[in-house]
Amino acid sequence: MMNVNKAEFRFYEELNDFLRPSLCKKPFIHYFRNNPTVKDTIEALGVPHVEVDLILANGEPVDFAYRLADGVHISVYPKFETFDISGIKGTGMPALRNPRFILDVHLGRLVRYLRMLGFDSLYENNSEDQELVEFSLQEHRILLTRDRELLKQEKLTHGLWLRSANPKQQAKEIIIRLDLHSMVGPFSRCMECNGLIENIDKTSVLNILQPGTLRTFNDFFRCTSCGKVYWKGAHYQRMAGILKELTEDTQSSFLVREARPDQI
């Protein structure tokens, strides 16, 4: 009869969101046969590989190809977007320090908030899963989704599973988890097409706006991609209120990690 081996696993911080409650926030024993890769085992336990940044086997960093041996102790850490761990050998998928996003088909409301915040965010409401993965790889974009299985695609290198189903909460979650406070650039992207916004001279829009708008406002902006014109009217005030709501309570909401790798 084939021997059954065992390994001790411990998952840290938000990776516990993917585990059964009985396995959360504590070491547990995992039984296995042969010598599977640590990547296959982590995903079998429910954690998408793109959510993992660092794996320690008996205290030493290993990559996804590492094969389990009987009695090994495995510690698994989430993406350290807020910390520089370049001096530590991680999973081989470095954090994207200037993040750009691609969103799955169920996140159409979230994309408008991300663009309002100034983040380069692609979205098509008819994209297939494989197309999303290919775009993520080709353009070095973080794939945002509520679908855990999508993040287990073999080739995918950067992805984020959103815990909340509320678009505003999702935007806050992204800012906090990726520590994007300093990268917020309000109203720098077109909410319709994701193009960059530029200042334009008032004289260039005389023939396309209503007389009342031209009398009331002097500052105008235009998308460099689709040509949509913006000004600071009532719609701007509403969006400014939303922007404040998205950012005001995230600055102090840094994720407190249970243990840094240099503290083990």
Distances (CA, A) of 125 to 108, 132, 253: 7, 11, 31
Beta-sheet pairing, 142-145 with 52-57? unpaired
pLDDT at 233: 86
Render pLDDT for 1-53 as a digit per residue (tens, 0 to 9): 568 999 999 999 999 999 999 999 999 999 999 999 999 999 999 999 999 99
Q: How far apart are CA 216 and CA 230, in angstroms?
A: 13
Quote the mean pLDDT of the chain: 88
pLDDT at 256: 36
Q: Rg of the chain over CA atoms, in angstroms?
A: 22
Give residue 250's pLDDT band: very low, low, confident or very high (50, 70, 90).
low
Between 246 and 194, the more confident residue is: 194
Domains of the chain, residue spans = 5-93, 101-185, 197-244
CATH number for the region 5-93 comes to 3.10.20.30
pLDDT at 190: 96
pLDDT at 263: 35
Helices 234-247 + 167-177 axis angle, to 10: 50
For the chain, what percent of residues have pLDDT higher than 90?
Answer: 72
Q: Contact at 8 Å (CB) between 8 and 29?
A: yes
Say if residue 87's pLDDT is above 60: no
* Chain-centre distance for alpha carbon 199: 30
Structure-block tokens of residue 54:
């660092």
Render pLDDT for 203-235 as a digit per residue (tens, 0 to 9): 999 888 888 998 999 999 999 999 999 999 888
pLDDT at 252: 45
Between 264 and 99, the more confident residue is: 99
Mean pLDDT of 103-118: 96
Mean pLDDT of 184-211: 93
Task: Name the amino acid, one letter, at 223.
Answer: C
Element (H, E) at 71: none
Distances (CA, A) of 178 to 79, 149, 170, 187: 8, 21, 12, 20
pLDDT at 234: 83
Q: How far apart are CA 171 and CA 109, in angstroms?
A: 10
What's the angle, vertex CA 174, arms to CA 196 and CA 192, rounded to 5? 30
Give residue 95's pLDDT band: very low, low, confident or very high (50, 70, 90).
low
DSSP 128: -
Residues near 123 by beta carbon (within 8 Å), at least 6 away in sequence: 102, 103, 107, 108, 111, 194
Between 240 and 87, the more confident residue is: 240
DSSP code per residue over 187-248: T-B-TTT-PBEEEE-GGGGTTTS-HHHHHH---EEEETTT--EEESSHHHHHHHHHHHHHHT
